[in-house]
Amino acid sequence: MAHRIRVRPRPKPVAVESLNTLRSQPWFTVATSFEHSLHQQPGEANSRQDWELEAFIASGGKLPSVFDQDPSLRSGLGAASATLPAWARRTPEDPSTLSPWAGGASGLSDGVSGIYSPTSFETLAACPFKYFLGNVLHVKETAEPGDAHRLEARDRGAIVHDSLERFFVDAAAEMRLPGPSDTWAVEDHARLAAAAGEICDRFEAAGKTGGAALWYVDRARILRDLKGFLAADDERRLVSGNAFLHAELSFGFQPKEGEESANQPPVAVPLAGGDVVHFRGRIDRVDRSPGGELIVYDYKTGRASEYKNLSSADDPLSGGRHLQLPIYALAARAAFGDAPVSAYYWAASEQEGYKAYGYQVDEATLTRLGEVLAVLAHLVGDGLFPQVPGKPSRNSYENCRYCPFDRVCPSASRTGAWESRKWSAGLADYVALTEAVSSEPAQPGVPSG
């Protein structure tokens, strides 16, 4: 049986010109815009946007009058304007001061009254705005377990750190530590591999290791790096004659409820102006030389390129970007006696050749530490947290590429925004501190402003 299909004809489009014939009808009204309709029929606003536009019309076009009725509108426009390039703003920024939307937060900072990690002040030196969001407002990332496609760098570092800590703590407790001219036994290599395997299983169960294929590669690489680390440790002890002293030395942490404190007091660093900043942290390892010198190590599992010139640099603190070593040196001296201290970043990976980069922490370094911290503490005390993108790098900026708050900052002209805002009151010492440190030149094909 054949079925008939009825197709309804499409309605003919109505030409605008034909609507003019309806102007004489009392029910037909022409409104050329939202604003025009509100002029014709005041009091007929149907949305918040219409209400704000109607208020602006009623004020005679005077924005201050509208802002007085709705302060949140003033704040919203200020926030939106701060993210725009200079040419797109209706009103220019005052270059003499930081607005609340450009890092001016004098009413939200409690100064430097707490106990800080060295890395938090390193973040402050690199980009004060990132420090403000993470350490003052305590904004956190919202990553969910299972979202990662591959093991993240910080989790890889945690696996390596935890594995070496467990291994060395157990070896010291069981008196299995080799002498300077001895090597780790085959059984010791097996113990480290077993400890790392258990920790890897824990991260995998927590959904932090990504897909199975890439996790197979990453896990094998971690085990290979740890095996090579013990061989590198044998070589380092043989050449230096140093002996292992302590693993995971904690200082400045508050004990959990019901626990006894097993860590050292906070490190108090006197500043150039007479104030004091207190720090907490965990030193990965401390050795002692045959002459009694303390050797501090901080393991690094990422690329070591930023540490390679520390020993020869005019400023080994890199304008505040590398503060761990002198602070850890002070903690080691407080724990094991007033002795000379050298401190190193130790690259714990085959890719980086297990090399260590550092220097002897002398009195000149500690004086410089007080000067650098005084500048950074001034920012916190005065609530000055500008957005500092750094140099252009790989279609982004060196301080923005891996920043969890990247979307909060202006999407364009970040370099230009910082160049205009760095002349704000109170930033002169910070600019002198950070811009005196040379860094790698900009790479080709990167944004220019």
Mean pLDDT, to the nearest integer, of 360-386? 94
Q: Which CA distances in Å does 326 have to 166, 176, 282, 360, 405?
A: 25, 30, 13, 9, 29
Domain spans in the chain, listed from the N-terminal domain onward: 32-69, 145-241
Summarize pLDDT for 268-313 with one digit per residue, the tens: 999 977 889 999 999 999 999 999 999 999 999 998 888 988 877 7
To which residue do tokens 């059984």 refer? 187
> H or E element: which one contains 72?
helix 71-82
Concatenating the DSSP letter of every residue in 421-441 gives: HTTSTT-HHHHHHHHTS--PP
Distance (Å, rounded) from C-alpha 322 to C-alpha 329? Answer: 13
Kindly report, residue by residue over 45-83, the tens digit of the pLDDT.
667 777 767 766 676 655 555 566 666 766 776 666 666
Alpha helices in 147-211 (DSSP H): 153-173, 186-205
pLDDT band (50, 70, 90) for residue 362: very high
Q: Whole-angstrom Cα distance, residue 108 to residue 113? A: 14
* Gyration radius from the chain CA atoms: 30
Rounded distance, CA 435 to CA 319, Å? 8
- DSSP code of 383? T
Question: Tokens at residue 28, please?
Answer: 């037909």
Whats the size of the chain, residue-wise? 449
pLDDT of residue 441: 40
Using CA atoms, how far apart are residues 361 and 105, in angstroms rounded to an integer? 35
pLDDT value of position 447:
36
Contacts of 269 (CB under 8 A, 6+ apart): 276, 277, 278, 279, 327, 330, 369, 370, 373
- Sequence-ordered list of residues with C-beta below 8 angstroms from that of 365, at least 6 positions apart, any chain: 316, 317, 326, 359
Q: Cα separation of 384 and 104, whole Å? A: 5
With residue 89 as reference, give the H or E element that holds it.
none
3-state secondary structure 264-318: ECCEEEECCCCCEEEECEEEEEEEECCCCCEEEEEEECCCCHHHCCHHHCCCCCH
User: pLDDT class for 439, splitting at 50, 70, 90?
Assistant: very low
Q: pLDDT by residue (tens digit) across 190-241?
A: 999 999 999 999 999 999 998 999 999 999 999 999 999 999 999 999 999 9
d(C-alpha 380, C-alpha 378), whole Å = 5
Cα–Cα distance measured from residue 255 to residue 261, given in angstroms and rounded to the nearest whole number: 5
Count CB atoms within 10 A of the CB of residue 402: 9
Residue 152's nearest CA partner among 77, 198, 207 is 207
What rounded mean pLDDT belongs to the chain? 84
Closest by CA position to 87, among listed 410, 442, 424, 446? 410
Q: In sequence order, what E strands does 78-143 have?
A: 115-116
